[in-house]
Structure 1
Amino acid sequence: MNSLTQAQLKDLDKIVEIDKSVIGHNGRKDMLKKSIESESCLISMQENEIAGFLTYNTNFFGYSFIELVIVSPQERRKGHATALLQHFVKIASTEKIFSSTNQSNTRMQEVFERNGFTRSGIIENLDEGDPELIYFKLK
């Protein structure tokens, strides 16, 4: 079973490594560091190793917004994303929780829907030809 905890700066390199394995570069290192420093990064642990992480803020019209849910490719389909989402819903500081994913990311859409999130809108022109789908959940 996995455990969830707040990320610490000592976790940054592993978090960046997981992020890089998914997106192909480490361009979000500074953003991830800021999330950890502001205590807005959760990690899912499997056998004392970081398996995935979730970052969040409350900058989406004053509501909680899940920025990233990233799980290491070898740890996918083991419940890490679900555990991170469910934990965040419990600790979120606002009643309304939002997130988003690309239209092409059908796996994440399934994760959101299995966890009670509903589609709430669409944003065009962020990624060329791949609209961003907004998801919503009431706490």
Structure 2
Amino acid sequence: MKSLEIAQLLDLDSIVKIDEGVIGNNRRRAYIRNSIEDERCIVVKDMNHIVGFLIFDTRFFDCSFISLIIVKPTERRKGYATSLIEYFTSISPTLKIFSSTNKSNHEMQEVFKANGFIQSGFIENLDEDDPEIIYFKSI
């Protein structure tokens, strides 16, 4: 059974393990911990096991910005990213939500499109030869 909730500090190790499995290291541990402490991290659980998480911020030009959406690779294409986005949309403190992904990340682009986001611009020079696409959704 799937459930979504604001992450707690006791979830930190599980979240970092998922993140590490995707990026290959735990360099974002402090960032994830701070997000949990600030109640800006949402987890999705299946059978009481965390399978994904979303981290957001509300300081992007006074709008919400989804910084990370990470789903455990073995659990992808099961609707978890959509569940995280829908949950965040329901609790967003702002009427505008932004996010971004690399031009090379076609899977995430499809997730954004399927969830009503539209392209809102590009940022060059973050990753060499892989521009960042900015996405926008109005609530």
Range into which the TM-score falls when normalised by the shorter chain: over 0.9
The one-letter code sitting in structure 2 at the alignment partner of 1:29 is: R
Q: TM-score, normalised by structure 1?
A: 0.99
Structure 2 equivalent of residue 129 of structure 1: 129
Q: TM-score, normalised by structure 2?
A: 0.99
Shift of 1:90: 1.0
The one-letter code sitting in structure 1 at the alignment partner of 2:134 is: I
2:64 match: secondary structure: strand
1:98 aligns with 2:98: yes
Structure 2 equivalent of residue 43 of structure 1: 43
Shift of 1:134: 0.2
Deviations along 1:56-89, whole A, 9 cap, x unmatched? Answer: 0111111000000000011111110000001111
1:18 aligns with 2:23: no
Shift of 1:2: 1.2
Unaligned ranges ≥5, structure 2: none
Aligned residues: 139
Structure 2 equivalent of residue 74 of structure 1: 74
The one-letter code sitting in structure 2 at the alignment partner of 1:110 is: E
The one-letter code sitting in structure 2 at the alignment partner of 1:98 is: F
For residues 115 and 27 of structure 2, what CA distance do their matches in structure 1 show? 29
The one-letter code sitting in structure 2 at the alignment partner of 1:78 is: K
The one-letter code sitting in structure 1 at the alignment partner of 2:53 is: F
2:128 match: secondary structure: coil
Structure 2 equivalent of residue 65 of structure 1: 65
The one-letter code sitting in structure 2 at the alignment partner of 1:59 is: R
1:116 aligns with 2:116: yes
Unaligned ranges ≥5, structure 1: none
For residues 121 and 56 of structure 1, what CA distance do their matches in structure 2 show? 19
| Cα RMSD after superposing both structures | 0.6
For residues 9 and 18 of structure 1, what CA distance do their matches in structure 2 show? 15
